[in-house]
Amino acid sequence: MKAFYFLLVLLVTLSSLNAQSLIVQWEEGKDLERKVVGEESRRLLVPSLHIEQIDFASEDALHLAVKELSPCTCVRALEIDRKVDFRTDPNDDFYGSEQGNLIRAGFDRAWDLTSGGKTSEGTDIVVAILDAGFDVEHPDLEENLWVNPEEIPGDFRDNDGNGYVDDIHGWNMIDDSNVYPLNTHGTQVIGLLGAKGNNNRGVSGTNWDIKMMVLSISTISNIVESYGYILAQRQLYNSTDGREGAFIVATNASFGVEGGTCEDFAVWGGLYEELGRAGVLTAAATANQNWDVDMFGDMPTDCPTDFLIGVANVGTDDRLYRSSGFGKENIDLGAPGEESYSTLTRGRYGPFGSTSAAAPYVTGAIALLYSTPCPSLLDRARNDPASAALLVRDAILSSTVPNTSLTFRTATGGSLDVAEAQRMLAESCNLGEAVDFAITAVRPNPAAEEALLETNAIVFSESGRIDLFDSMGRLVRQQSAIRVGGATVTLRLNVAGLASGWYSILVTERDRVARSVIVVR
């Protein structure tokens, strides 16, 4: 018999087949040198617990060893080694074959920490999607639709007194109804954003268990009314400390007016700032035109607000897609929208592309970051929701992957990387809260051309500016505060052309002011 096993091991080894392994935990005090028939090699995995891995040349040898060791009093436990199914990869049918854009945007790595849906305190995270219509009965979507807890379905009463009768998942602003038009575009958008993940069905969204508030729109008035609905829900949540309303953190805008400007639509455009003050960011798709929206205009992506993120479409070659708009000033980053795969109406699935597909990845990134374990972020969301929104925005824009096709065509020059944004957010969370906004270092000092101003700020909006005053107190230079990057805010200060001497620095951002000094040589 021994000769047979020796021959079997030799043949298997020569044929280069993979060894099979058994994990054994020996009883303490027993003879760990016990030889097992058919074993090839062994190694201690956890010495303190007497756990070993024993390798065999074949499955037959492995199973014989199991029979030999199972009744032995020398063994506390044993099990056959095997590859695990990584639960951060959803088991949805088309994830592996069709949803490569989720991987390219970093969601597979971010899911190692959280797959989204709830904050670390257990609060439902809600995103609001404005689009033409939706298949709210799609089996891969219906579980992730927001449900208004204050409404009783089908009683034909306005239970929560907000002016909408039976607004269970949101509202159809087009027809003033809770019945939604069946529309492919909207169904594709919400599928990318929040199709139920890891349910052995179809596709996975950016967040596996997100709650989606859906609002059908066709006209600007529909858009304005929808934002009013969203704002009321989040403000109610804020004012009642989460007892009522909805914790809406983002809206998705895969629509717009190509060639329009925020000046042309001041009411609509002004709502992004209002939403932001309540703690709601918006990810907006830019024009599906190969033009510079800074020059030609695009509504809403050219709105001058810190609470809106303009998104360009990146192709599968990781370059700006040929039909996507761009703009160094108004388009913040790119996202891999082209050749996405999503839900379709009537329970189907299919391809989806264009800038409309790019924006939901960013909306999903915003929502996913709120599920990152970070108590200080949730404290901000309660006490200063606008600051929390800007912190999340800053994490997303500070963590993009450099992309040469976007270098001079977007504000960040990069593409979405939600995993890196998550890492930066977690890192800033560990830094704790700064009591006062301050410049912590000026490097180099003295300086001749340029210096970096290191601060203790985590959040810093685009409205920030730097003022330089000479020794007589006269304003000699004013410039926009340009971020360099990092977990805390570092700003670039230009001192080229200034006369040698001592200058005072004043950094202003919203209602915060920080001061320092620099010597120019």
Beta strands of 280-382 (E only): which ranges? 281-285, 298-299, 308-313, 333-335, 340-343, 349-352
- Cα–Cα distance, 114 to 130 (Å, whole number): 26
Selection from 147, 281, 308 nearest residue 214 by Cα: 147
Per annotation, catalytic residue among 92, 108, 131, 209: 131
The letter for the amino acid at 166 is D
List the helix and strand counts (H, then E) for the chain. Answer: 13, 25
Q: Using the 8-state DSSP alphabet, how is residue 411 labeled?
A: S
Catalytic residue list contains 50: no
Q: Which residue has the tokens 């809406």?
A: 248
Burial class (CB in 10 A: 0-12, 13-18, 19+), 91: middle
The letter for the amino acid at 235 is Q
Selection from 23, 22, 24 nearest residue 76 by Cα: 24
**Phi and psi for 326 in degrees, rounded to 5?**
-155, 170
Region label for 202, one of left (φ > 0), alpha (ψ between -120 and 50) or beta (otherwise): left
Sign of torsion, CA 249 251 252 256?
negative
Catalytic residue list contains 177: no
- Cα–Cα distance, 8 to 56 (Å, whole number): 11
Selection from 95, 48, 126 nearest residue 363 by Cα: 126
Catalytic residue list contains 112: no
Cβ neighbors of 73 (< 8 A, separation 6 or more) are 27, 30
What is the largest distance, in Å, between two alpha-carbon atoms of the chain?
Answer: 99
Which SS3 state, helix, strand or coil, does residue 507 take?
strand
411's tokens: 């504000």
Per annotation, catalytic residue among 204, 356, 371, 398: 356
Are 279 and 389 in contact by the 8 Å Cβ rule? The answer is yes
Region label for 184, one of left (φ > 0), alpha (ψ between -120 and 50) or beta (otherwise): alpha
Burial class (CB in 10 A: 0-12, 13-18, 19+), 298: buried
Q: Which residues pair with 461 in a beta bridge?
A: none
The letter for the amino acid at 359 is A
Question: What is the chain's length?
Answer: 521
- Cα–Cα distance, 388 to 382 (Å, whole number): 9
The letter for the amino acid at 229 is Y
Q: Using the 8-state DSSP alphabet, how is residue 485 labeled?
A: -
Sheet arrangement for strand 490-494 = 439-443, 450-455, 490-494, 482-483
501's tokens: 């001497």
Are 216 and 169 in contact by the 8 Å Cβ rule? The answer is no
Per annotation, catalytic residue among 124, 175, 185, 376: 185
* Active centre residues (catalytic): 131, 185, 356
